[in-house]
Amino acid sequence: MTLVMGILNVTPDSFSDGGRWNTTDAAVAQGLDLARDGARVIDVGGESTRPGADRVSIEEEQARVLPVVAALAQEGLAVSVDTMRAETAKAAVEAGAAIVNDVSGGLADPLMPHVVADLDCDYVAMHWRAHSTRMDALDRYHDVVAEVRDELASRVDVLQAAGVSTERIILDPGLGFSKVAESNWPLLADIAGWAGDARVLIGASRKRFLAAAIQPDEIERFGEDLPAPPPAPLEREHATTAITTLCARAGVWGVRVHNARAAHDAIAVVSTWQNAAKAQDSGA
């Protein structure tokens, strides 16, 4: 059954909830709440990757995430660390993280594949072309499914060459990263086309491409000069749940979300529906 990865941004500037969990105590409390709401993995990040975000120092990143990772791991929770830095990944796993979630797929830090191989932990390799300050300009594809497939395959080759076991690698298409709006949908519609048999993590939660789906007519007619602003991140929650439902139906390994309860309930309904269908088929 699809698992829920709960997003825990220990940052002041994340696009949806920046600043809400910007202290260790608040972040740990939120991590526990996410787990109670059905998240099986808590994904702790200390550096915003929203469009236009500047990087923080490695010292600041580690000061934000390591105490939270350690505290949640001590509570018995499965924790992932959302980082592009090999040094932070190593420190977080030593503090108790079980998964490294790297939005750059190892491109931002060439040491990452070797460190992950030594750590022998699960690793999320996301499709990525550039840092947040430049990524929107690289939303240029002739065939987005084929190009994401090939670019992820090249990252898998590098990881395997460094000694990372294939079974440890989870693929993420990088929705919203160098994909502003329409480039995201073919990747959701044809997961097998870019992922093959690999485990898949989908991170669509509250992202801006969902706003384009909610208000397609207004955006097409008015572009940036909308008569009313497009749905803000919190107003994209129902659209996020729709994506979660479709992902669960498609059998993806995990969804990375802000609202763990909504995702948990959607996945439970899909699972119950599918079990009933199987029972009907077996009794026919």
Burial of 189 from C-beta contacts in 10 A (0-12 / 13-18 / 19+): exposed
Which parts of the chain are beta strand (E)?
A: 3-9, 41-45, 79-82, 99-102, 122-126, 169-172, 199-202, 254-257
The phi and psi torsions of 152 (rounded to 5 degrees) equal -70, -40
Look up residue 176 and give its two tokens.
């919203």
| 149 catalytic per annotation | no
For residue 255, count CB atoms less than 10 angstroms from its CB and return exposed for 0-12, middle for 13-18, buried for 19 or more: buried
* Bridge partner list, 200: 171
* 238-247: b (≥16 Cβ within 10 Å) or e: ebbbebbbbb
- Burial status of residue 276 (CB atoms within 10 A of its CB: 0-12, 13-18, 19 or more): exposed
Half-sphere exposure of 183 (CA within 13 A, CB side): 22
At residue 169, φ and ψ (nearest 5 deg) are -95, 130
Three-class SS state of 255: strand
Polymer length in residues for the chain: 284
Rounded Cα–Cα distance for residues 275 and 241 (Å): 20
Q: Is 278 a catalytic residue?
A: no
- Considering 168, 207, 208, 236, which one is annotated as catalytic? 207
Q: Which amino acid is at 250?
A: A
Catalytic residues: 207, 256
